[in-house]
Amino acid sequence: MGKVLIVDDEKSMRYTLREFLRREGYEVEAAEDAVKALALLKQDAFDVVVTDIIMPCLSGVELLEQIRNIMPDLQVILMTGEPTVETAVKAVQVGAYDYISKPILKSTLLKVVKKALHLKEITDKKQRLEEANRHHQENLEQLVEERTRALHQSMQSSIKVLASMLDLRDPYTAGHQRRAGNLASAIGRELGLSNNVIEGLRVTGYLHDIGKIALPAEILAKPGKINELEYEIIKTHAAQGYTILKDLELPWPVAQVVCQHHERLDGSGYPIGLKNEDILTEAKILMVADVVEAMSSHRPYRTSLGIEMALEEIEENSGRLYDPQAVTVCLQLFRDKGYKITDSFSKTNFFHIH
């Protein structure tokens, strides 16, 4: 039915109005001034306030202004003894629902209160719906986040398994993939690339030599120099990697970058001989990380050439074979920032939830 608060400093008026409304079935309270009215409003939930304008201390308009600040949805009806256009304008300006002139007619009062209560009911309903909607939205977002996390975890473990497969056939290369992936993502971070691209570089690095699974074991583990034919066979690993990874659905161009990681800016690389502008940025970064890691680590056919020789190789061929920006930050990482290549799978999540 609705709860109404009557505010009037005139006792008889207060009681008359209260009785009018009570008899109609409304729950009604009365206050003799604005201060008492505010205290009651803070204690209890009301739907409509009917207040006199001229009262000692705070006027009805001032009370209305305070109500607007603390309870914007409460409907307020002003009562005035001298109805003028100015009073009406002021009442609307400060946000009164309506105003009625004294002497108060029972029928007018009931009509206005009923309409105000109806409006309050609609506003309350709208608010409840909005609240329910917000709650539903939050639940939905949480659910999506949980599912996305689960999906990412499953992708992460698939990548780990795939990357570790090479451990069985070629432990040297498996460790190399992890180190090159970590270095490539460190270069990406130094270049200011987005977190997504940085993680993509790490994942691609972890898988970039996967095509070597398809190579004969005797070539992979051969100590000493490899001949020209064997080298030609080894070179197929880039395209083999593409074939293995091309159907893997990941949010990065992993298969393409793997295919291009032995291309060189001047077109002297393999398998296609792509030139600068045709090579993906990620591949330009990965090739630098790959060369530096490969040269600085031990291989069955040679001992480590040392990090300094690896850095000299990329420095000398910067702009001709390797991307100058990637080379510059890679050199800075090792020479100025004390970067050390790590062999572990990244402890951070591969994936970022956006």
Report how far residue 76's alpha carbon sits from residue 49's, in angstroms, rounded to the nearest whole number: 5
If binding means CB under 5 A, how many residues of this protein chain bind Fe ion? 1
Minimum CB separation from Fe ion for residue 180, in Å?
9
By CB under 5 A, is residue 209 in contact with Fe ion? yes
Annotation marks residue 212 as catalytic: yes
Minimum CB separation from Fe ion for residue 250, in Å?
19
Of the two residues 195 and 317, which places its CB atom closer to Fe ion in the complex?
317
Report how far residue 180's alpha carbon sits from residue 291's, in angstroms, rounded to the nearest whole number: 9
Instruction: Return left, alpha or beta for 302; rule: phi > 0 is left, psi -120 to 50 is alpha, else beta.
Output: beta
Burial class (CB in 10 A: 0-12, 13-18, 19+), 71: middle
Q: What is the DSSP letter of 51?
A: E
Please choose, out of 96-104, 115-123, 207-215, 248-256, the segment that lies near Fe ion by the rule CB under 5 A. 207-215
Which CB contacts under 8 angstroms, 24+ apart, belong to 308-311?
Answer: 311/335
Can you tell me which residue has the tokens 């209260």? 18
Residue 225 contacts by C-beta under 8 Å, 6 or more apart in sequence? 301
Token pair for residue 306? 């040392």
Nearest residue relative to Fe ion (C-beta): 209
Minimum CB separation from Fe ion for residue 209, in Å?
4
Minimum CB separation from Fe ion for residue 262, in Å?
6
Q: Is the bond preceding 72 in cis, omega lying within 30 degrees of 0?
A: no
Of the two residues 87 and 240, which places its CB atom closer to Fe ion in the complex?
240
Minimum CB separation from Fe ion for residue 295, in Å?
13
Of the two residues 186 and 259, which places its CB atom closer to Fe ion in the complex?
259
Minimum CB separation from Fe ion for residue 152, in Å?
27
Q: Where are the alpha helices (DSSP H) in the chain?
A: 11-23, 34-43, 60-70, 85-93, 106-169, 171-190, 195-207, 217-220, 228-235, 237-245, 254-260, 281-296, 307-316, 324-335
Report how far residue 219's alpha carbon sits from residue 223's, in angstroms, rounded to the nearest whole number: 9
Rounded to whole angstroms, the maximal C-alpha distance in the chain is 113
By CB under 5 A, is residue 263 in contact with Fe ion? no
Q: Which of 42, 111, 212, 225 is catalytic?
A: 212
Binding mask 165-204 for Fe ion (x = CB under 5 A): ----------------------------------------
Beta strands 3-7 and 27-31: pairing type? parallel
Of the two residues 8 and 209, which places its CB atom closer to Fe ion in the complex?
209
By CB under 5 A, is residue 293 in contact with Fe ion? no
- Note the residues at the interface with Fe ion (CB under 5 A): 209
Report, as residue numbers or ranges, the catalytic residues. 212
